[in-house]
Amino acid sequence: MVRVGAILVLAAVVLLPTAVWADDGPSQDQVNAVARKLFCPVCENTPLDVCPTEACQQWRDVIQTRLVEGQSEQEILDYFAEMYGDSVLAQPPPRQWAAWALPALILVLGAAALIFWLRSWTRPVPVAAQAVAAQEAADEQVEEDRPHIERLERELAEWE
């Protein structure tokens, strides 16, 4: 029984420090989970977690340091957005909803205007309205031509 207790104490003494020393901060997966939500400051539209540049490595080191300090993921993202602008964020903040909604609104209004305009081309004009318009145009033409017609009739009468 003493041997079992001695073995357990010895195992605890040997394994306990390795467990304590093994916890040297956040894992690379935790760092990459935050880095995935940021873009590289050098390469355009490249996520920070896959970019091999030195600048990205430095940013990942900053993320790791801030995670060790106990900052949350959102606090770290806010820090980078404050330092470098919202363009480093992979997902824009909700306060920029107009940047996403305005193009969609313009597209919908443009499509509605186009449909209205095309439908006005295919809308038939009532036949009675066409006939009245044609008759009015003919009457106006006759009134404009009346002096010429009278002169022509006089000249034809003189030739007979």
Do 30 and 76 meet the contact criterion of CB atoms below 8 Å apart?
A: no
With residue 66 as reference, give the H or E element that holds it. Answer: helix 54-68
Instruction: Give me the tens of pLDDT residue by residue for the chain, a chain 160 residues long.
Output: 556 555 555 555 555 555 444 456 778 888 888 888 888 878 877 888 888 888 888 888 999 999 999 988 889 989 988 888 887 888 876 666 677 788 889 999 999 999 988 888 777 666 677 777 888 888 888 788 888 888 888 988 888 7
* pTM to 2 decimal places: 0.47
Pick the CATH number of 27-91 from 2.120.10.30, 1.20.1090.10, 1.10.8.640, 1.20.1250.20: 1.10.8.640
43 to 39, 58, 84, 90, 121: CA distances (angstroms): 8, 14, 14, 13, 50
Report domain extents, the chain.
Answer: 27-91, 95-123, 124-160
3-state secondary structure of 89: strand
- Nearest-angstrom CA–CA distance, 89 and 55: 16
Return the beta strands (E) in the chain as ranges.
none
- Nearest-angstrom CA–CA distance, 66 and 90: 19
